[in-house]
Chains A and B, each alone.
Chain A
Amino acid sequence: MSAVGEWRPTLPAGPPMQSGGGKRSSPLEWRWIDRLALAFAWCAGIGLCVIAAAIVGYMAYRGIEYLRPQLLVQRPSISTSQSGSGGFRDALIGTGVLTLIGIVLAVPLAVGGAIWIAEYGRPTWLARMVESAIEMVAGTPDIVIALFGLSIFQLGLLAPFSFKAAGGGVFGKSYFAAGAMMSLIALPPMFTATRDGLQAVPAHMREAAFALGKTRIATIRRVLLPSVRSNIATGVTLGVSRIIGDTAIIVLLLGDSLRIDPQGSVPGLSVLRGTGSTLTSYVYNNSPAGEGSAPQKAYAAAFVLLIFVLVLNLIVDRIGRSQADTTGMTVAGAIV
């Protein structure tokens, strides 16, 4: 037996290795259309980089020029001059509140729907209907979703959730109404990421849990959901970046006021029922396209918004990488 450990075959090493390829054909010999295509592909790639850099660079230049720390903590106030109109604290809070409402409503729906599609999905016609319904929601323009929200929150049943005018008229506008509609635009990326994650879990993982005497629902809760945690996180991050970037729903469902305007006397709830602003509506209202009273503050707020979105993209990227590192599985749909 010991001879096995000591014995080694002697094998020839072969010629030394070379790197790099051999001679290739010169583009000068190609047909002109191939040369044009090559040049266009180079230009398109580099051009996109230039455009992205221009947006970030210009907004950073303007933003840093006008962004002052006190802008982040001052409330907006009514003034005709830029120096007196305050900061965008309310808009920041508004963005946070909407994100929270949207995520709290969308995550259970998206994850539950994805579990049903990926693990149960029967009868098939119903599964197909659910998938197309979610595709439909994903494809609906946000202004249409906003209009739909406006009409349902004006109904008597949902009126308690929205802002009432002094005369008793229901406007259908409130943080809650906007947040509920925001959950609809955040739902499709969360659903897709979770479903794709579940479908990427190999079948033998489920069988292993079944073979240990677990029911299907226990397998989902104890094995599958922990496996797709990072897919869910990716989906949530994508959903958040859609919520904080959306404008149409804010304009229709949150009103024109820049300040948070609570409704009622219950703290917290009054904010949800009241109107206000987010960073996007703040930028819109202060830009020359809106009332145009404070373009410098619009630039500063737009810069903050851009930073948020860039940070969210970075988070999505990180989640994808760490998932690939630890489990060898990839996270689907990591492009905003």
Chain B
Amino acid sequence: MTPDEMLLERAEKRMSDSDDPRRSEARFASAEQAEARSAGAEALQARAEPVSDETPPTASPAASAVPPVRTIVVDRAPLPVLPPQEREAVRAAHSSGPERLRLEDVSIGYGAKKAVKSVSLSIHQGEVLALIGPSGCGKTTLLRTLNRLTELTPSASRAGNVLLDGEDIHGMADTRLRSRVAMVFQQPNPFPMSIFDNVAFALREQSRKKPRRRELEPQVVEALKRAGLYDEVGDDLDRPALRLSGGQQQRLCIARAIAPRPEVLLMDEPCSALDPISTATIEKLIGELRRDLAVVVVTHNLAQAHRVADKVAFMYLGDLVEYGSTAQVFDEPRATRTRDYVRGAFG
């Protein structure tokens, strides 16, 4: 046996040891992977005793028909988002909120390239809309159009209308729009100042005289509480924000965004730079924020979209291919592209 083979065998053994068949249902997206895996398992069984009487997770080609489930082993039990029946109750209670944003035939181009093609959508208060799709499909561009951040790119051009409560967003001052449509970014990006000053940042009007700290304190504390951060940082709001952990920084950014009480909250892959526990905390938070806001989340993580969203919009190459309730898009997708994507055939 060559050293490479020995290493391979050791790795296989380790994988098999850490596979608890009762808990993790490892399903593989492609038949190739599944075959490679089962070949490895067979080779192992030929040499070593099976780990338990129960057969290890069988990975037959038929298993590729179900969506992939990413199982992450963490040392602490992840926080449950909301139990399914409760989640449905919250959805039923809130998804019929008033319409906040309406997109009418929105197209965005960078130079000659069209990044978003004629997208029409409506976004209601009390619901979470997830924008999903492969990289480069225009979902982040679409998100950044909703608070006119795309305008910062000099080559960007646009067509169509975006209405916030019936008012064209291109007709209102950008600063006014952005205080009503807040945004949270992929990378936690607190400013290099204290926690208090970060949250109070948007509350301080630029042209008026400086409001006192005492006047701002209730709003700052409330925003931190809504972002679920107050219990961790409340004892010292003067600490520099950059000393916080990544997950805390991201929740601080959420607090900063919701402090001026916006109507819509845009989130651009808010968890992709975070660990699983912080991710679970923020997903829970998204579910709670939905009560007062319309939330739009861009995510690459299909399981996350499934967990947090009420409505899902699937984009592909700039087109809005499918839009519907989470259950419909994931379980009964109408378009072939959507079905292939949510089942992991590409992405």
Instruction: List residues of A whose CB falls within 8 A of some B CB.
Output: 1-5, 7, 9-12, 202, 204-205, 207-215, 218, 222-223, 226-227, 326-327
Contacts and interface: CB of A to CB of B under 8 A. Distances in A.
Interface residues of B, number: 38
Given A204-B189, A208-B191, A214 B206 contact: yes
24 contacts: A4-B74, A4-B76, A9-B17, A11-B14, A11-B18, A204-B186, A208-B183, A209-B191, A210-B174, A210-B178, A211-B147, A211-B185, A212-B179, A212-B256, A212-B260, A213-B175, A213-B178, A214-B202, A215-B175, A222-B191, A222-B201, A226-B193, A326-B240, A327-B242
Contacts of A12: 10, 14
A5 B256 contact: no
A213 B191 contact: no
B189 A213 contact: no
B127 to A, nearest CB: 21
A212 B189 CA distance: 12
A208 B188 CA distance: 10
Contacts of B147: 211
Given A5-B77, A327-B242, A211 B183 contact: yes
A172 B23 CA distance: 88
Given A7-B20, A218-B206, A222-B201, A211 B182 contact: yes
Interface string B246-278: 000000010011001000000000000000000
B75 interface: yes
A204 B18 contact: no
Contact of A212 (B18, B193, B201): B201
B8 interface: no
B66 interface: no
Most A C-beta atoms less than 10 A away, residue of B182, B186, B206: B206
A209 B175 CA distance: 10
A82 to B, nearest CB: 54
B191 A210 contact: no
B182 A5 contact: no
A211 B191 contact: no
B149 interface: yes
A11 B10 CA distance: 10
Given A208-B189, A226-B192, A226-B193, A5 B76 contact: yes
A202 B76 contact: no
B113 interface: no
Given A3-B23, A213-B176, A202 B189 contact: yes
A309 B191 CA distance: 34
Nearest to B193: A226
A207 B23 contact: no
A326 B242 contact: yes
Given A3-B23, A227-B191, A326-B242, 12 more contacts: A1-B77, A11-B18, A202-B189, A204-B189, A205-B189, A211-B183, A212-B178, A212-B202, A214-B202, A223-B191, A227-B192, A326-B192
B187 interface: yes
Nearest to A227: B192
Contact of B191 (A3, A10, A205): A205
B23 A4 contact: yes
B152 interface: yes
Interface string B6-25: 00001000100110100100
A204 B149 contact: no
Contacts of B201: 209, 212, 214, 222
Contacts of B183: 208, 211
B265 to A, nearest CB: 11
A208 B192 contact: no
Contacts of B257: 211-212
A237 to B, nearest CB: 20
Nearest to B206: A218
Contacts of A5: 75-77
B77 A207 contact: no
Contact of A207 (B10, B149, B192): B149
Give 8 nearest A-B pairs by CB, closest first.
A213-B179, A213-B178, A212-B202, A211-B183, A9-B18, A213-B175, A218-B206, A208-B189
